[in-house]
Structure 1
Amino acid sequence: MNLKGRRALITGGAGNLGQVMADSLAEMGADLVLVDLPGANTAKIAADLAERHDIEAVAEACDLEDAAERDAMAARVLESGGLNILVNNAAFVGTSGLTGWAEPFEKQSVETWRRALEVNLTSAFHLCQLFSPALRKEPGGSIVNIASIYGQWGPDWSLYEGTQMSNPGAYGASKGGLIQFTRWLSTTLAPDVRVNALSPGGIARGQAPSFMERYADRTPLGRMATEDDFRGAVAFLASDMSAYVTGQILAVDGGWGAW
């Protein structure tokens, strides 16, 4: 469980789930690079984690929708040191405020589909490419892609009835692509780097009460997830606790996929 001397990069590091995963790896001793959009409070989060866990933590501003920004960010990171762990967490999600996104199928736009695939899937592909030479060289090389139950199964639309919520087609398609890319990359980078995915179920974030109640009824463990439910899973996949695990999709979904 000891990650001292190892460095982890987490995209979407200023988000709710990104912060919890960063805190978990920092608690195990990992130094951190937190990547998020310009204007996010990433620097403060990194400084707080560094002070609390006595580690090194830096913030990197990067719009992952832009390939040139991804190139520049990776160059800065690699110039300042190596990398042992890459967590591809950033994504457009169902509540992202995009035009033609959380709409009925006929109103979902092709342009927003392209944007979602660029951030949710293409940027993960690109960052794995950019960082794989460093990950191959460093001990404990591990890539953790954050997928979703909606990359594995279709949505149950009855959960959404009477709410303003939706489930965009590009979200499920991009997460499904990320799952298959995880499997493909695991055999491609083996034996130097392990590649796995964590597949979260729905996380409680103040959704419509009717949705939360229906979701809980639909889930064997009887509740939606909290961010803390993913601490152990990311710690396992990022560390040597999973030294003989690669190409796997770890569902942390309260049993959603077991029905």
Structure 2
Amino acid sequence: MNRLLENKVVVVAGAAGLLGSRVVEQLLQYGAQVIATDIDCDRIEQQLKKLGVDTASTDINVQTLNVLDKQAVRTFFQSLDSLDGAVNCSYPRNKNYGAHFYDVDLDSFNDNVAMHLGSAFLLTQQCAAYFEKKRQPLSVVNMSSIYGVVAPKFDVYNDTSMTMPVEYAAIKSAIQHISRYAAAYVGNSQFRVNCVSPGGILDGQPSEFVSAYQSHTHGKGMLNSKDVIGPIVYLLSDLSNHITGQNLVVDDGFTL
């Protein structure tokens, strides 16, 4: 495996998730030293072991971090001696998340936006504060989505109980702009903030949905979580040293 991230220290928030755990696994293979964080350390280790990751390795440090706890997030970044990159794969939401448009309660909408978008803001803000203190190169990668770029193609949800949550569209589009805002506010080429916007990722969706989704792509259809890693690695690496405030779309043509 290419050691493109050799000796780089990278924080991954949401490391227990479908995408986050895969990001950790791949960053390790690219030579990074990874600080894997989530609200439940046991779940991080369970997910990583499924991927064959040795969590006892000196290249990985598993830590508890609640991205909704502003003091915990601040303390976490203040405790770091060295940091070269951060990837935010966290996805906090409440139990009502995923309702159809007319069934979304305003309080629930506000709650989900506050949790997901608010935590993305907090992590980005604290990365910026860390950079201002340490003044060493730092690349931040926020996870957006194709539905932060274009309106949903609702026909892919026909004949399923699924929908594309309105909160998700609002949050993911805003994450792109928060990333640009932070990059512009700091205004230093050594501090970079970018987004990756994946298409749909396979996670046990109904076959009807998977088939309908594929018809809007150039043949790949739904992505595997590993398909999203390349752009993340690129943005963390020195190959992208002068790329900031950008959004890389990975969707096999879905948004065309």
Q: Indicate whether the TM-score tops 0.5.
A: yes
Task: Name the CA shift for 1:45/1:204 in 2 (closer, same or farther; >3 Å).
Answer: closer
Provide, for residues 107-162 of structure 1, a one-character-per-residue CA deviation record: whole Å limited to 9, x for no partner.
Answer: 10222212221232111111122232333536431010000001111111111111
1:20 correspondence with 2:22: yes
Equivalent of residue 225 in structure 2, options 227, 232, 239:
227
Amino acid paired to 1:200: P
CA contact (8 A) 1:26 1:55 kept: no
Name the amino acid aligned to 2:149.
Q
1:74, 1:29 → 2: CA distance? 27
The whole-number CA distance in structure 2 between the counterparts of 1:29 and 1:50 is 14
Give the corresponding residue for 1:102: 98
The separation in 2 between residues aligned to 1:80 and 1:144, in whole angstroms, is: 18
Q: Which residue of 2 aligns with 1:207?
A: 205
How many pairs align?
A: 250
Tell me, yes or no, if structure 1 residue 116 matches structure 2 residue 116: no
The answer as to whether partners of 2:94 and 2:112 remain within 8 angstroms in 1 is no
Task: Give the 3-state SS of the residue equivalent to 2:79 in structure 1.
Answer: helix
2:58 aligned with 1:61: no
Q: Is the 8 A contact 1:46 1:58 kept in 2?
A: no
Q: Deviation of residue 55 (structure 1)?
A: 4.1
3-state SS of 2:255 partner: helix
Q: State the Cα distance separating 1:230 from its structure 2 match.
A: 1.2
Structure 1 stretch 35-44 or stretch 113-122: which is displaced more?
Answer: 35-44
Identify which of 5, 12, 17 aligns with 1:10. 12
SS at match of 1:257: coil
Distance 1:202 1:148, change over 3 A: same
2:254 matched residue in structure 1: 256
Q: Secondary structure at the residue paired with 2:35?
A: strand
SS across alignment from 1:218: coil
1:161 alignment partner in structure 2 = 158
Separation in 2 of the partners of 1:41 and 1:240?
31
Structure 1 position 174 matched with structure 2 position 176: no
Q: Secondary structure at the match of 2:249?
A: strand
User: Unmatched 5+ residue regions in structure 1?
Assistant: none
Amino acid of the structure 2 residue aligned with 1:25: L
Contact kept, 8 Å, 2:41 with 2:62, in 1: the verdict is: no
CA distance in 2 between partners of 1:111 and 1:135 (Å): 35
Aligned partner of 1:127 in structure 2 is: 123
Residue ranges of structure 2 left out of the alignment (5+ in a row)? none
2:142 to 141, 145, 153: 145
Which residue identity lines up with residue 31 of structure 2 in the other structure?
Answer: G
User: CA RMSD of the aligned region, Å?
Assistant: 2.3
CA contact (8 A) 1:49 1:55 kept: no
* Corresponding residue number in structure 2 for 1:83: 83
Relative to the length of structure 1, the TM-score reads: 0.87
Q: Distance in 2 between matches of 1:114 and 1:130?
A: 23
Alignment partners' CA distance in 1, 2:155 and 2:47: 38
